[in-house]
Amino acid sequence: METGIQKPAGEKLIRILAFTLVISVMSATMFNIVLPQIRADFQLSFAQVSWVSSAFLLIYALGTVIYGKLSDTYKLKNLITFGLIFFALGSMIGLAAQAYWMVLLGRVLQAVGAAVIPATASIIPVRYFPPESRGRALGISMTGLAIGGALAPVVAALVVSVVHWSWLFLMPLFTLIALPFYRKYLDDDQRNTGTIDWIGGGLLAGTVALLLLAITYEEWTLAAGCALLFVLFVARIRSAAEPFIRPALFKNKSYSLGLTIAFLVTATGYSLPFLSPQLLTHVNELTPGLVGFAMVPAAVTTAFLGRKAGKLADAKGNSFLFYLASVLFLTCFVLLSSFAGISPVFIAIFLIFGNVGLSFIYIALSNSISRTLPKEQTGVGMGLMAMLNFIAGAVSAGVYSKVIDVGSVVRWNPANFYPNALVYSNIYFVLSILSASILLLYYFQFGRVAKERKA
């Protein structure tokens, strides 16, 4: 009886979820395109305006884990109701914002609500689909993510070409369309297991927030506070009965190194959606609408090739896919470093290599890291990886912005002949070196092991 009820409910829920994921991904990424405009409107530095993205990602990272744990205690339908309403509330505040602090408040409240969506995306396939059809359900979810990523620059470009950038806050209101369906098809199961280490989560949030503030304002006292909170966080997770992050996971050296690689990949890859709009705006002098259109080819190509990556990994292995992706990734950064300042048409082409490469790297890396964990730790371990990836994006956004604020008069890449793009060229030059280092790290940890197994 239960199976008969769960199956049709699951089919409806996974499609509602895909729609919600499309909207949430668009809402999360569209603002990168208009950061230069927000900076100009409120007379901010690059580091200050980066908080529009950084604050969202930080709250999103912690919230995803917290909602996942809350779902073990509370009804999922109530959690998603709370989340989507908060998502909409943040949107209304942002839409009415007349000062920068209101823009940030809107983004923070959006993140508090939006974090329920990835948590729900990991729960519905498990609770509502048997193992033999769970892969298809996850595929539908991934399709929603890909469509959202492809539509974000298009919709952002169209909106800012017609109305003010603040209207981008309106997008999350469409998720309320899905709320009655979630209320109807999600079950009423009430679970009463699990606790949340709020102290540990708060210490981690404070650590990252102070790190971002220290980068933004170059204050050593903030950096010292960050170090102190980090020490307290480590002490907390070692002593708490149910810690926010399980220290036992880090005893697995292969997993720990895999997390390090994933963190570096995300920090490097976040330059593509975050830094590229800054380059196109301040060096190529494009309007926000044209910036959005310049980023469309990469998003569409990535969405189109996403499914092929999984098949390629199955046929050739994760290591092959990672090496191929790394070549594309590295090629993108070398080209951007050498030709930052060139026609936007070429920048749009370079971004295709980077976005496709980054997408392929995530697939290969997720598969490789999941295999380092025993079955009973896979869910927790991959959840931790997702959280750290969001934190990596938040921190890297702050670092990139601060470097742009400082500027550069030195040319690190002799191939670049655009003086007004020197700081961008130098950043991409460093990212090229980092990409090559990541490839070597992966080879020594995963690639060599795979090669020895075949032998």
Q: In this structure, what token pair is assigned to residue 224?
A: 């010292």
On whether both 180 and 261 belong to a single domain, the answer is no
Question: Based on the domain organization, do 60 and 94 belong to the same domain?
Answer: yes
Neighbours of 235 (CB within 10 A): 12
* Pair (52, 186) in one structural domain: yes
For residues 290 and 36, give the distance between their C-alpha atoms in angstroms, rounded to a whole number: 13
Q: How many domains does the chain have?
A: 3
7 and 140 both lie in a single domain: yes
Q: In this structure, are 253 and 229 located in the same domain?
A: no
| Residues of the domain holding 22 | 1-194
Maximum pairwise Cα distance, the chain: 71
- Within 8 A by CB and 6+ apart from 433, the residues are none
Evaluate if residue 363 carries a pLDDT over 50. yes
Residue pair 330/436 in contact (Cβ under 8 Å)? The answer is yes
Section 27-56 average pLDDT:
89
Q: Residue 203 and residue 219: Cα distance in Å, rounded?
A: 19
Q: Which residue has the tokens 């995803």?
A: 64
Alpha-carbon torsion, ordered 428, 330, 32, 352, to 10 deg: 130
158: region left, alpha or beta (phi > 0 left; psi from -120 to 50 alpha): alpha
Cα separation, 383 vs 378, whole angstroms: 8
Predicted confidence at residue 276, as pLDDT, reads 92
Least confident of 67-81, 202-216, 258-272, 363-377: 363-377
Residue 133 tokens, joined: 């059809």
Is residue 163 domain-shared with residue 230, that is, in the same domain?
A: no
49 and 39 Cβ atoms separated by less than 8 Å: yes
Q: Are 108 and 52 in contact (CB under 8 A)?
A: no
Which residues lie closer than 8 Å to 368 by C-beta, 6 or more apart? 258, 318, 319, 322, 442, 446
| Residue 417 three-state SS | coil
Mean pLDDT of 204-228: 88
The average pLDDT across 29-51 equals 89
pLDDT of 354 reads 94
Last residue within a domain, chosen from 209, 225, 243:
243
Helices and strands in the chain, H and E counts: 19, 0
Which range is least confidently modeled, 116-120, 148-152, 422-426? 148-152
Q: How far apart are CA 207 and CA 63, in angstroms?
A: 15
Q: How far apart are CA 326 and CA 442, in angstroms?
A: 10
Report the first-to-last Cα separation within the chain, whole angstroms: 50
Q: Are residues 14 and 136 in the same domain?
A: yes
Cα separation of 403 and 134, whole Å? 44
The pLDDT of 253-277, averaged and rounded, is 91
Residues 432 and 299 in one domain: yes
**How far, rounded to the nearest angstrom, does the alpha carbon of residue 74 sit from its chain's CA centroid?**
26
Neighbours of 312 (CB within 10 A): 19
Lowest-pLDDT range of 185-199, 253-267, 410-424: 185-199
H or E element in which residue 350 lies: helix 344-370
Distance of alpha carbon 39 from alpha carbon 288, whole angstroms: 12
CA angle 19, 54, 29 (to 5 degrees): 30
Reported as a pLDDT band with limits 50, 70 and 90, residue 134 is low
Cα distances (angstroms) measured from residue 336 to each of 147, 271, 437: 26, 11, 18
Q: Where does a domain end: 163, 178, 194?
A: 194
**CA–CA distance, 418 with 416 (Å, rounded to integer):** 6
- Here the tokens at position 205 are 């949030």
- Look at residue 132 and tell me whether its pLDDT is greater than 70: no
- Clarify whether residues 132 and 208 are in a common domain: no
Q: CA 224 to CA 349: how far, in whole Å?
A: 43
Query: Concatenated DSSP letters for 197-264?
Result: -HHHHHHHHHHHHHHHHHHHHT-HHHHHHHHHHHHHHHHHHHH-SS-SS-GGGGG-HHHHHHHHHHHH
What Rg, from alpha-carbon coordinates, does the chain have?
Answer: 21
Q: Are residues 231 and 190 in the same domain?
A: no
> Which pLDDT band, with edges at 50, 70 and 90, does 154 fall under?
confident
Rounded mean pLDDT, 347-373: 86
User: Higher pLDDT residue, 68 or 192?
Assistant: 68
- Going 52 to 57 to 62 to 65, the CA torsion angle's sign is positive
Q: Are residues 64 and 113 in contact, defined by beta-carbon separation less than 8 angstroms?
A: no
- State the average pLDDT for the chain: 85
Output the DSSP codes for 64-84: HHHHHHHTTTS-HHHHHHHHH
List Cβ neighbours of 306 (8 Å cut-off, separation of 6 or more): 142, 146, 359
Same domain (yes/no): 131, 80: yes
Rounded to whole angstroms, the Cα distance separating 432 from 151 reads: 28
CATH of the domain at 18: 1.20.1250.20
Does residue 153 sit in the same domain as residue 167? Answer: yes
Q: Which of the listed residues 212, 243, 274 is the one where a domain comes to its end?
A: 243
CA 243, distance to chain mean position in Å, is: 24
Report yes or no: 296 and 164 within 8 Å, Cβ to Cβ.
no
